[in-house]
Chain A
Amino acid sequence: MMLLDDKFYRIAAVAKDNEHVATYTIELLADCTVYQGHFPGKPVCPGVCNIQTIKECAMRLLGENLCFKTIKQCRLTAVATPATCPVLLVRIQTTPTEEGYQLQASIYNQSQTYMELKGTLIKT
């Protein structure tokens, strides 16, 4: 289920390599209510909102409702904020499995990488 589209982020563009691989361009929405609490006077993207954004891009690509079964590793390599990186790229690479998909994803822009994730998604 989509929780954060048009709330935390907006999809500006998508470039599909094939039915399982795509790069989404997203805009971070600075007026999202999450920044009232994370943190007061110091808006920083919650890492888990970036993880949720990755999942929602994968759901959009695959046209299915998905949930993380495992996250083998997720590295948060830089702090993202709507002021310092208002536009980000979300790279989604999936491989079908019996239960769902293997996922490799990253969030980045031309200057740096903010998140790298490896995990598995199941259908819900």
Chain B
Amino acid sequence: MDNIQALIPQRPPIIMVDELTEADEEQALCQLTVREDNFFLQSDGTMAETGIIEHIAQSASAYAGHKALQGGAKVPPVGYIGEIKNFHLYQLPKVGDQLQTTIVMGPEAQGVTLLHGETLRNGKELVAKTQMKIFIAQE
């Protein structure tokens, strides 16, 4: 789909999503390949769990950006994580792994959106899941 930098406000070295691959009204799918130069890569070749959280947040940001551009906005909105709830880690991804994250967006109220994110590794193994509240900044 669109170039990822058109959908999110983050720039290197902290771009944590490669592509928004699917999006409809209720949910979206994003992916990220874990590379050597990833900001959250640890010395043993795994990506830190905080990197997974950022990947889920940026997947939600890409989805929100996609919706905003479809709605006629020129630039994607800046979103901040307001709260993380019930994050569970199942395994840490490694260099070369492809992460696929499904974002299910809940209703928005006063600029706050509650979403669910679930990340798989290489199409099958569960890596992590979480709920998150995101604030969209009103520019």
User: A residues within 8 Å of B by Cβ?
Assistant: 1, 3, 33-34, 36-40, 44, 46-49, 51-52, 55, 67-76, 79, 119
Contacts and interface: CB of A to CB of B under 8 A. Distances in A.
Interface of B: 9-15, 39-40, 42-44, 48-51, 53-54, 57, 78, 80-89, 92, 130
Nearest to A52: B50
B110 to A, nearest CB: 16
Given A37-B14, A69-B88, A73-B85, A48 B50 contact: yes
12 contacts: A1-B43, A37-B13, A47-B80, A48-B50, A48-B53, A51-B84, A70-B86, A71-B85, A71-B86, A72-B85, A74-B84, A76-B82
Contacts of B130: 71
B15 A37 contact: yes
B39 A34 contact: yes
Contacts of B83: 73-76
Nearest to B90: A69
B82 A38 contact: no
B42 A1 contact: yes
